[in-house]
Amino acid sequence: MFARLFGKPKMEPITLEKLSENLERLEKMEKVLQKKAAAELEKATRFSNAKNKRAAMQSLKKKRLYDQQIENNGNSQLQVHDLMIMLEGAKANIETVDALRNGAAALKAMQKAANIDEVEKTLDEVHEQTEKMKQIQEALSTPIGFDDFDEDELEAELEELESAELEQQLLQPAATSSAPPRFLVVPAGRQPNRPLLQKPTVDEEDELAALQAEMAL
């Protein structure tokens, strides 16, 4: 009826601090009850010595009531102790669960930020950029324009230069050098355009003599 009229009383959450305060209050109450029980025992002893049986019996009854309250108080203290231990264990469990939940959430977030697909995609991009850099370096290391010439044409031009050099050496007069004549070794399969040894004509001998005279001056 009172609950319908005034509503249910609000239950305050039980905390370790409140339980500790309650336990301290029970311990103080136990000390008071023990003092009262001791006082009634002392009274019963005095009344018994005074041959006042009725008063002695009343004091003993009061002592037993106090003893019963002391026992009930002790049981209450045990219950509070048990509840405190349970709350401490529950608090430790909650803290552990919270820590595990936070760790799992952090791990999930990290895995979401770097999942296996993203990792493989990133590695592919790194490999692609690496290959591009290699191609760029190879392109920069190649001389510009060197690939535009025909190798066969270069070989033919080189042969002409060698033939011209050989001809120039053969036209040099023997008197200008004390060294023995050098013979050019012609590779197999390659023949000069002109014969290796050619006797100078009369005009060429005159030109050589005029050149030697100019050099002597």
- Please state the domain extents for the chain: 15-113
Mean pLDDT of the chain: 77
Q: How far apart are CA 51 and CA 58, in angstroms?
A: 13
pLDDT (tens digit, 9 = 90+) per residue, 45-70? 999 998 999 999 999 999 999 999 99
Closest CA to 24 of 90, 76, 82: 76
Q: How far apart are CA 16 and CA 85, in angstroms?
A: 9
**Mean pLDDT value across residues 145-153:** 67
pLDDT (tens digit, 9 = 90+) per residue, 68-117? 999 999 999 999 999 999 988 988 998 999 999 998 888 888 777 776 77
Residue 191 has pLDDT above 70, yes or no: no
Architecture of domain 15-113: Orthogonal Bundle (1.10)
Residue 11 has pLDDT above 50, yes or no: no
Residue 177 has pLDDT above 50, yes or no: no
Q: What is the CA radius of gyration of the chain?
A: 61
Which pLDDT belongs to residue 147? 58
